[in-house]
Chains A and B, each alone.
Chain A
Amino acid sequence: GAGVSQTPSNKVTEKGKYVELRCDPISGHTALYWYRQSLGQGPEFLIYFQGTGAADDSGLPNDRFFAVRPEGSVSTLKIQRTERGDSAVYLCASSSSSEGEQFFGPGTRLTVL
């Protein structure tokens, strides 16, 4: 069984551009989480999906950040008008239930120049 995968592994973009980060959870996992990890820090919660719906998006820093999970499997984190402060590793995790252990992907390292 494959684990959580994320693409791309690295993304370099210019300030003001739009980016999409993709997460493929473990097959059958209904819960999906996005975290952001800045250099030297622990991950910070962004958003949690249960199935197709965002059950908790309280961690999204502002309205430039948006995430979708239209079919309850793959999720895309979208960042508009990127800023240098958005540079971080974006981690995705999935679990078999809302209380289950979360399994993390390798992350996407986003660099905004």
Chain B
Amino acid sequence: KNQVEQSPQSLIILEGKNCTLQCNYTVSPFSNLRWYKQDTGRGPVSLTIMTFSENTKSNGRYTATLDADTKQSSLHITASQLSDSASYICVVSASGATNKLIFGTGTLLAVQP
């Protein structure tokens, strides 16, 4: 069964600190992996997208990594800001699946002053 698992479930950090979120997936055949940020009461917004051949992708203070062999990804947030408080969702797309996205349950990040 195609699944995406994330850890930790929730995380609290102080403003200015770094953090890393983890994602493991069993989706096959793999097409791409995305990290989304979802603010409370809003729809998800894409942060990064990586295909099989890419092992790192950055978007400002967000850096995603992908190890297609171990089927693991991470999202590293540098110098966190209060506005980073949100749910971060790892999403995997399977090849030939008409762009159907398989979502993880998300990591709820709270950045405190």
Give A residues with C-beta under 8 Å from B.
4, 31, 33, 35, 40-45, 48, 50, 55-56, 59, 91, 93, 95, 98-102, 104-107
- In contact, B43 and A42 (Cβ under 8 angstroms): no
- In contact, B45 and A98 (Cβ under 8 angstroms): no
- In contact, A42 and B106 (Cβ under 8 angstroms): yes
| Alpha-carbon separation in the docked complex, A107 to B98 (Å) | 22
- In contact, B105 and A102 (Cβ under 8 angstroms): no
Can you give 12 contacting A-B residue pairs, CB < 8 Å?
A41-B106, A42-B4, A43-B103, A44-B103, A48-B100, A93-B43, A99-B99, A102-B46, A106-B42, A106-B43, A107-B41, A107-B42
Q: Whose C-beta in chain A lies nearest to the C-beta of B87? A: A42
Residues on the A chain within 8 Å of B100, using CB = 45, 48, 56, 59
- In contact, B43 and A56 (Cβ under 8 angstroms): no
- In contact, B99 and A98 (Cβ under 8 angstroms): yes
- In contact, A31 and B43 (Cβ under 8 angstroms): no
| Alpha-carbon separation in the docked complex, A42 to B106 (Å) | 6
Which of A48, A98, A99, A104 is B43 in contact with, Cβ under 8 Å?
A104
| Alpha-carbon separation in the docked complex, A101 to B45 (Å) | 10
Residues on the B chain within 8 Å of A104, using CB = 43-45
Query: Knowing that A48-B100, A106-B42 are A-B contacts, what are 4 other residue pairs whose CB atoms are under 8 Å apart, sorted by A's residue number?
Result: A40-B105, A45-B101, A45-B102, A100-B99
Which of B43, B46, B89, B104 is A101 in contact with, Cβ under 8 Å?
B46
Residues on the A chain within 8 Å of B43, using CB = 4, 91, 93, 104-107
Give, as a whole number of angstroms, the nearest-CB distance from A89 to chain B.
9
Residues on the A chain within 8 Å of B105, using CB = 40-42
| Alpha-carbon separation in the docked complex, A99 to B91 (Å) | 14
Residues on the B chain within 8 Å of A50, using CB = 98
Residues on the B chain within 8 Å of A106, using CB = 41-43
B80-110 contact mask (Cβ, 8 Å, vs A): 1 or 0: 0000000001010000001111111110000
| Alpha-carbon separation in the docked complex, A42 to B102 (Å) | 9
| Alpha-carbon separation in the docked complex, A101 to B44 (Å) | 12
